Structure 1
Amino acid sequence: MSGQNLLGDFLKARRGRVTPDQAGVRSLGRRRVPGLRRDELARLAGISQHYLTRLEQGKDRNPSTQVLRALATALRLDRNETAHLYALAAPSQAVEGHREVGEDVQQLIDSWGTTPAYVRNRGFDVLAANKLAMALSPMYTPGRNLVRDVFLDKDLRGLLPDWQEIAAQTAAALRAEGDLRDPATAGLISSMLMDGDFRRLWENHDVRPVRNEIKRFVHPLVGPLTLRRQALSIAGAEDQTIITYQAEPGSPSADALNSLC
């Protein structure tokens, strides 16, 4: 992990993903780079090539809001990617997150007897879970790390028929939600870069937080389940998120989930 130049790494990666046609740049002859050249991005953003070079090389790490806004526009970043760009350019304000879940939150998820639910932090450590979540998958057991499990626990891949998509989402969500300057998160990423699948996806620099969407499982005891995932924030613990899974009422997945209760 090029942990000392997060902003520069992101700018270089995203510059390589914008084609001249997308940016409205006239391209003549053969090109040595797949995306925009440095001088082209600088011209589009209205900054000097020398300054962009300093940003990409990590020699200048405090661009103005105006420069960041211009770069985001030139790089065609979406809302999540733009927020990530601003976060990388901000001075480090990493603080130790909440490592324990409040008793009231534990009681809440325990009361959802037919809804798998767990709590994770921004580093994707599982901090708490109800019984049904742990019955759905061992990766939802407190003390586990979801990034490590998705990529390194080969046995779990049989549980996730859409593993490729989930792996890509996991890497993109860690980049979107994780504090990359936090020592624990940086250590997690550094260790995970030893895995080829994670390294390939991480180097894409995709940014996409966890969304409310459908997720499929193939459970060894009850078979296929199609569940809707919801991500819920916790007041007073912004670094923690409750993840729940729900089946369509009356569906085979609901019956299968009930049999795990």
Structure 2
Amino acid sequence: MNHTEELGEFLRARRAQLTPEAAGVTSYGARRVPGLRREELAQLAGVSATYYTRLEQSQSTNASESVIDSIGRALNLNDDEKVHLHDLARPAKAKRRAPGKPDQATPGTIRLLNAMTNVPTVIMGRRNEVLAWNPLGHLLVAGHTDLDAPSRPFDRPNLTRMLFLDPHTKDLYRNWRDEASLAVASLRFIAAQHQDDAELTQLIGELTLKSPDFAAMWTKHPVQQCVSGVKRFHHPEVGDFDLSFEVLHLPGASGHRMMTHVAEPGSTDAAALELLSATNETPVARHVPSRI
């Protein structure tokens, strides 16, 4: 993935979405497209039209922080999009990577996961691969898969891949398109922060080739951190119910995250979650990795 080209594509996409009215620009003459012209955006950002054009055409990779800030303000970007813009504008540094061990959840994270028996929880790596889950988390998001799969580094489920390529996972969400759009926006955010991650680039390429839905969503350059919200399930075991989710970023530079799901106490959603929990009769210790 060429992130210099990604910067240009992101700028063009956001400029095309920004109307003169929204930007406070007086429009003169007929427009072929509804978005701002390059020279209008450049004027709002306080840079020359030539320089801004070079950025859009991926011919410049050394824009200063202040210039990127100005362009972000001119495009009316939100906080997540501004972070994303800075990540794209910052050239990726080549890193020499020594062959390492497959990524694993830490022992402390596993102990915490074991203790959360009544909260469906999934531990994810930076690419949304499942590093571990408790039995209730497995039953909630991927009960049709092998419970022990996260312990096999080269055969791990990936939540984003499953969302687009696995029919069972597509059927799991009542609002699949909203869920998928958020997943793409989150992946965009992560990809810009890890520009040297070959496995992440491979995942994006695979999904682009195999899923027309992913390819269409990806080209729109959505950007959003996925940290909380509501997931609307259509679960094969217990039917329709909603759960609030929180994504907690774990300490360190690993990019590991913990996703938890909870229901409003006393609600029908809580009753559905209790019913799902009742189908789990297997001790926790058997299903999460005991060795890291």
**1:19 alignment partner in structure 2:** 19
User: Is the CA contact (8 Å cut-off) linking 1:3 and 1:186 kept in structure 2?
Assistant: no
TM-aligned CA distance change 1:121 to 1:190, over 3 Å: same
Higher mean displacement: 174-183 or 157-166: 174-183
Q: Which amino acid aligns with 2:38?
A: R
What is the SS of the residue equivalent to 1:193? helix
Displacement of 1:4 in angstroms is 4.8
Cα-Cα RMSD: 2.0
Q: Does 1:149 align with 2:162?
A: yes
CA positional deviation for 1:129: 0.8
> How do 1:1-261 residues align onto structure 2 when only pairs under 5 Å count?
3-93=3-93, 99-138=103-142, 142=150, 143-178=156-191, 179-194=194-209, 195-261=211-277
Contact 1:7 1:61 in 2 (8 A): no
| Cα distance in structure 2, aligned partners of 1:53 and 1:40 | 11
How far is the alpha carbon of 1:251 from its aligned partner? Answer: 2.1
- How many angstroms does 1:24 deviate by? 1.5
Letter in 1 for 2:228: N
Structure 2 CA distance, aligned partners of 1:236 and 1:81? 23
Offset of residue 252 of structure 1? 2.2
CA–CA distance in structure 1, aligned partners of residues 7 and 253 of structure 2: 27
Give 1:170 shift: 0.5
Q: Report the 3-state secondary structure (helix = DSSP H, G, I; strand = E; otherwise coil) of the residue aligned with 2:34.
A: coil
2:4–2:88 Cα contact (<8 Å) kept: no
Cα displacement (A) at 1:250: 2.2
The offset of 1:155, in angstroms, is 2.4
Total equivalences in the alignment:
261
Q: How far apart are the structure 1 equivalents of 2:196 and 2:181?
A: 21
The secondary structure found in structure 2 opposite 1:99 is coil
SS in structure 2 at match of 1:137: helix
Name stretches of at least 5 consecutive residues in structure 1 with no aligned partner.
none
Distance 1:177 1:107 in 2: 27
CA offsets 1:137-164 (integer angstroms, 9 cap, x no match): 2179621111111111122222100101
Contact 2:126 2:254 (C-alpha < 8 Å) held by counterparts: no
- Residues 88-128 of structure 1: CA deviation (Å, up to 9, x unaligned): 11131477798110112112112111101011122111111
Cα distance change on mapping 1:165 and 1:200 into 2, 3 Å: same
Q: Aligned pair in 2 of structure 1 residues 237, 130: CA closer, same or farther (>3 Å)?
A: farther
- CA distance in 1: counterparts of 2:106 and 2:258, whole angstroms: 12
- Contact map agreement 1:168 1:201 (CA 8 A) in 2: yes
What CA distance in whole angstroms lies between the structure 2 residues aligned with 1:181 and 1:8?
18
How far apart, in 2, do the equivalents of 1:169 and 1:38 lie? 29
- In structure 1, how many angstroms separate the alpha carbons of the residues matched to 2:266 and 2:94? 45
Deviation of 1:3 after TM superposition, in Å, equals 5.0
- Alpha-carbon separation, structure 1, partners of 2:35 and 2:179: 27
135-144 or 105-114, larger mean C-alpha shift: 135-144
Question: What is the TM-score of this pair, normalised by structure 1?
Answer: 0.93
Distance 2:2 2:251 in 1: 34
